[in-house]
Every structure is written in C-alpha cells, then in structure tokens.
Structure 1
Amino acid sequence: MTESIYIRPIGFAPGPQHEDGQAVRLAGGMVYAHRFAVILRRDGRTDERWLASPAEMAEVLGGLPASVADEAQAQWRHLALVHPALECGARTIRLDQPQVMGILNVTPDSFSDGGEFLDRPEAGREHAAAMLEAGAAIIDIGGESTRPGAAATWEGDEKERVLPAVEYCAAMGAAISVDTRRAGVLEAALAAGAHIANDVSAMRHDPRSFTLAANSGRPVILMHAPGDGEDLHSNATYGNVVFDVFDWLKERRDAAIAAGISRANIILDPGIGFGKSLADNLALINALPLFHALGQPLLLGASRKRMIGALSNEAPADQRLGGSIALAIAGMNAGVQLLRVHDVADTVQARNVWRGLRDAALTDFSDLPV
C-alpha cells in the first residue's frame, strides 16, 4: 500500500488580523490562509481528510501515519516559506508580490501573434520595450511553438530566432527568460544575455539541460507536461489531475536538486493547457494554493489559452483579454509569484489594483480597541 499526503489551503482572509493572527502568509506573499485540508491518499485514492486551523495543525500532523509524517511537516513549513528574490543580472525580481512576465514569441506559427515578431525584428524590439515600460519584470523569449500539433523545431532554426531577440532585450537591460527545451539553445541564449531557463519539458527533453542549468547557477522554470517526446500534450491520463501534477512536479523538483540545481533557483509551473482538458485546467487553477506546499515559487501561464475560448463562445486568441485577466487574478489570489502573459499593461494594472486592495485590507481593523 502506498500512502501520500497533501496540505491544501482552503480558507483565506484579507489579512492576519481578521483571524486574530491565526493565518499563514502563503510563501511570504500577500495572501493569507487560515483553514487547511490535510488529505491522506492510499493507493491513489483519498482515504481520510482533516480540516485544521494553524492552531490545530500540530495535533492533526501528529496523528498521521509514520510513512507520511516527515513529508507533512515539510509541506506545512513550505506553505509559509519566504522565497528569496531572483537575481537576473542588474535586475532583482522580488517575489513578495505577483510579478508579470511578458511573452515575446519569435516563431512563424505562434497562436497569439502569427509570427509578427519573427518577420519584423523592429516590431519585436518595440514590443519588448513597451512591455518593460508597462511594468514587465521579465521578458520570456520563445522560438518554438508548443501548441497541440505544432511541428518540432530544428535547434539551428530556434537559435536563429531566439538569439537576436535575447541580444536586443539584453541591450535594454531586461531580465530575460528563454523558453526552450534544447540545451544548445539554452547555452547560447545564456551566453547572449538571458538569465532564466524556462523549460516546458521540465528538462526531460534534453539530458544535457540539467547539467548546463546547474553549472550556470541561473534560475530554472520546470513545467508540467504529460508527453515525454516531441509531443508534450500526449499521454494525458490522470487519476486525479491535481494530485498527479503535484506529485510529478515534486519528482522534477527533486531531480533538479539531485542534479545540482540550487533549490532557491527552482520555479514550478503546473502547465495549464498542456495535455489537459478544460476540466483539468479549471481544477488546477482552483487548487493553485496547494502547490505552495512544494516549497518553490510558482508560475502561472494561462494567458489567451484555449480554455478561455472554450468558456467564451470560442473567442479567438486575440479576443481573450477579459478571460486572461480573470485567470491572472485567480493566480494572484492563490499567491502565485509569476504571471506569464501577453497583455502586460492590462495585467500590471490589474495587479496594481489588486495590491492596493491587499494593502488596504491590512488596516481594515485599525479602529478597533486593542
């Protein structure tokens, strides 16, 4: 019999004072949880579930089977873990509030921009500058489409697409992530001025990637995708998508640490839209607070994705701004640190208003007698 444990935040408060201090500040951010579900699964099925406040958690954890006791204690610590800032050259990316990552696709077949920034480099440069001016903390550059059914890209072509964009973004002083699953592209991009490796295969596609990332000392983003070959969307079968993705990301986190990547440099992404149905995506977004129990910063990439069209009368990609903002706010409310988006200015504005509300909530009870 196999046993596994999960601690999922399920009750939230505007600030700790609303619960007389009985609230956990999730991942050192601006979201406070005061109620938690402790879920024990045996042989892939939920067997027992307890509800606990922070004050009750020690008693609940103390009664768990020995096989999951250490993992439960680790998850409980991880939920309140304060993550250090990301150091990206001259830029420091603090993780105590949601940060916006702007997407720059330099592919001929991007679902969102149709190759505009590949065919017209000056447009790509202007778009990157506009995203930085609008408040993007990071520019994420990708040279391969990973939409369902997209053809694989030759490494040489990917370099030719990505490197000029890295160079002009580096000249602007941007913090840069490179969206690639090929070690050769990653190595060249880091040499050209990129700072973060964003690997949609979680470094399974190219066996050299882990060693390269470890030696570079740079942050890495490990994304869940069920496919283990060229098609990242294949093999999409889940017993329970939330727990399956959690376990998968935990395994990749541990593999990265074993490969020599510093734990402080590991960011995890549940992979919205990659080999997942609409119901799967909705379940993962609703369960995002659980993933803080893995002890790593989280990235949410849901901007303009197919699920928005599915819920919006099949709205095309360029008409999914409202849905993209709704999903970004869901990520903010879950304490996600990085939001990968196409519409930077609108998302930054939403984030700033969201933060204003959060800041104000911390003084809501200031007129009460002490």
Structure 2
Amino acid sequence: MQLHCANFTLDLSTPKVMGIVNVTPDSFSDGGKFARTDAAIAQAMQLIDEGASVLDIGGESTRPNATPVPEDEELLRVIPVIEALVARQIPVPISIDTYKPGVMRAAIAAGASIVNDVRGLQEPGALEAVAGSDAGVCIMHMQGTPQTMQENPHYEDVVAEVKAFLSQQRDACLAAGISQERIMLDPGFGFGKTRIHNITLAKSLAELLALGCPLLVGLSRKSVLGQMTGHDVDARLHASVAAAVVSAMQGAHLLRVHDVKATVEALKVVAALK
C-alpha cells in the first residue's frame, strides 16, 4: 500500500505516524503551545527527529464547539510555517489540515503535499482544489460541524453509514481525476460520534479497509479515551499509544498523533511481531 502525494510516495506497507502541529490558540490538547510560527517550526522539526513520516499543519481548531477562523487568519497561521519547512527541505510530506478551498490552494502552492479535510471535500471548490494539483488527499467523515457535531449524534448503523460516505467521496475524487493512489480515508473518530460509535468503528476497521484506500486513524488524546480511563487530555499518553497499536494491528496505515516518539516505538514492535 502506497500514497502518492506530489513529490513524495509514502510506503505504507508498515504503519506510519503523522505528527500533529496545531498552529492555533484553542486546539483541545495543545492549543497555544505552537501558535507562534517559530514555535510551530521547532515542533515540526522535533517531530521529524522523533520519527514522524508526515507533518499535519493546522490553523483552525476542529474540537467540539470551536470558533470558526476566517480564511485570512488561517492563512497567516499556516503558510509561513509551510514555507519555512519547505525551505529547509524536510524529508517528509506536509499535510494541510483544512476544509477551505482557498487555504488548500495556497498551502499546495507553498509546498504542502497532502490535503487533510475533516469535511471530506464537501465544501464548494474543495474537490476542484485537490483535483487541480498532484497532492494526496485524506477524506474524513464528520456528522454535522465542529459547532454541532456532539449534539446527540445518531446513526442507524455507524459503520455502514461512515463507509457509505467515504465510498461516495472516494468515487467523487476518482470522477474528478484524482487517482486512487492519492486517496486516503479517515472514519473521523470523535467527529459527530458517541463513545459507543467510536468503539464500534474502532472494532470495524476491516470493513473500511475493503474500500481499497489507505486508512488514517486519529484517536490521539480524544475524549473517548478519557471516558475509558478517567484521565484528562494531558494524561492520555498511554491510552493514545494503546489505541494506535490496536488500530495498526487491525490494518490502519497512518496514525495521526500528538506523541510521535512513543507511538513510533510502539509501532516498531507491532511491525516486528506481525
């Protein structure tokens, strides 16, 4: 399994780690820590040293009830970081975590190689922004918006409905000329899902793998882990690593995490034992 993204090809024959760099003041876990450009760049370089295979740069929090960020502000947060990392010729692809087509286009022009869209390319112009490039794309499922998604989310069959959405958006990408080798899928843990929905999805990754695209899993520090352990967000390292390990053993190809070093080491053990 590989993901083609601009000048990079990710070898996903063994699970890899996507390191999170939130250039935001209000993200649920590390909001404010890397809001300055220099702090974000330093964090990105550290995550590469710790073994990240992808850097995911985001300028707008998508936590529940997050305040939307104007496009101009989001651009001011992320583009200088992307440009600085590209200038350093880092050896890993940069992913832009955004749902705004204008930010997608600007980030790709600045050197981003992957678009990671929590709205699954549903915004007008988003599909065209990716199709007009050679970037890879991650399509995520979300019920509602960050402002509404945790207001009593409901499914008749969460696995079937998430799978149907991901299949539909994958097919839309293919029809727009985005090859399957450029497409990755994400079930969207914590995005419009209850504890039971998240657990059900986590146990059913094999059904999503049947769609034939690499699978990204993002459970790092999520509230469902806090519900299981009783720990606040800053004390969920062990739970996050356990979730990454179980996901990798079920076939996940890319793990989106805050704690790169611990996860990379755990996944090396998974790969060796498999």
8 A contact 1:288–1:334 mirrored in 2? yes
**Take 2:56 and 2:261, find their aligned partners in 1: how far apart are those partners?**
15
Deviations 1:209-234 (A, max 9, x none): 11111110211100000116964556
Q: How high is the TM-score relative to the length of structure 1?
A: 0.71
8 A contact 1:242–1:287 mirrored in 2? yes
Which residue is 1:263 aligned to?
Answer: 180
The yes-or-no answer on 1:144 pairing with 2:54 is no
The runs of at least 4 aligned residues of structure 1 exceeding 3 Å deviation read 228-235
**Take 2:157 and 2:85, find their aligned partners in 1: how far apart are those partners?**
40
Q: 1:349-360 maps to which residues of 2 (within 5 A)?
A: 349-358=265-274
2:235 to 319, 326, 332: 319
Which residue is 2:32 aligned to?
Answer: 115
Q: 1:66-77 maps to which residues of 2 (within 5 A)?
A: none
Q: 1:126-205 maps to which residues of 2 (within 5 A)?
A: 126-172=42-88, 173=90, 174-204=92-122
Q: 1:10-159 maps to which residues of 2 (within 5 A)?
A: 83-89=1-7, 91-118=8-35, 120-159=36-75
Say if 1:233 and 1:154 are closer, same or farther in 2 by CA, change over 3 A.
farther
Q: SS of the residue aligned with 1:197? A: strand
- Report percent identity of matched pairs: 44
**Take 1:233 and 1:210, find their aligned partners in 2: how far apart are those partners?**
26
| Alpha-carbon shift at residue 85 of structure 1 (Å) | 4.1
**Take 2:139 and 2:196, find their aligned partners in 1: how far apart are those partners?**
22
Q: SS of the residue aligned with 1:307? A: helix
2:126 to 195, 206, 209: 209
Q: SS of the residue aligned with 1:294? A: coil
8 A contact 1:303–1:340 mirrored in 2? yes
**Take 2:139 and 2:133, find their aligned partners in 1: how far apart are those partners?**
16
8 A contact 2:170–2:183 mirrored in 1? yes
**Take 1:93 and 1:194, find their aligned partners in 2: how far apart are those partners?**
14
8 A contact 1:225–1:271 mirrored in 2? yes
What 5-or-longer segments of structure 2 have no aligned partner?
A: none
**Take 2:6 and 2:39, find their aligned partners in 1: how far apart are those partners?**
24
8 A contact 1:201–1:232 mirrored in 2? no
Q: SS of the residue aligned with 1:198? A: strand
Deviations 1:340-360 (A, max 9, x none): 0000000000011111212xx
8 A contact 1:86–1:94 mirrored in 2? no
Cα RMSD after superposing both structures:
1.6
Say if 1:186 and 1:231 are closer, same or farther in 2 by CA, change over 3 A.
farther
The yes-or-no answer on 1:249 pairing with 2:180 is no
**Take 2:84 and 2:111, find their aligned partners in 1: how far apart are those partners?**
9
What 5-or-longer segments of structure 1 have no aligned partner?
A: 1-82, 359-370
Deviations 1:259-305 (A, max 9, x none): 22212111100000001000100000010111111111100011000
Q: How high is the TM-score relative to the length of structure 2?
A: 0.95
**Take 2:3 and 2:68, find their aligned partners in 1: how far apart are those partners?**
34
The code of the aligned residue for 1:304 comes to R
8 A contact 1:101–1:138 mirrored in 2? yes
| Alpha-carbon shift at residue 114 of structure 1 (Å) | 2.3
The code of the aligned residue for 1:246 comes to K
The code of the aligned residue for 2:234 comes to D
| Alpha-carbon shift at residue 135 of structure 1 (Å) | 0.8
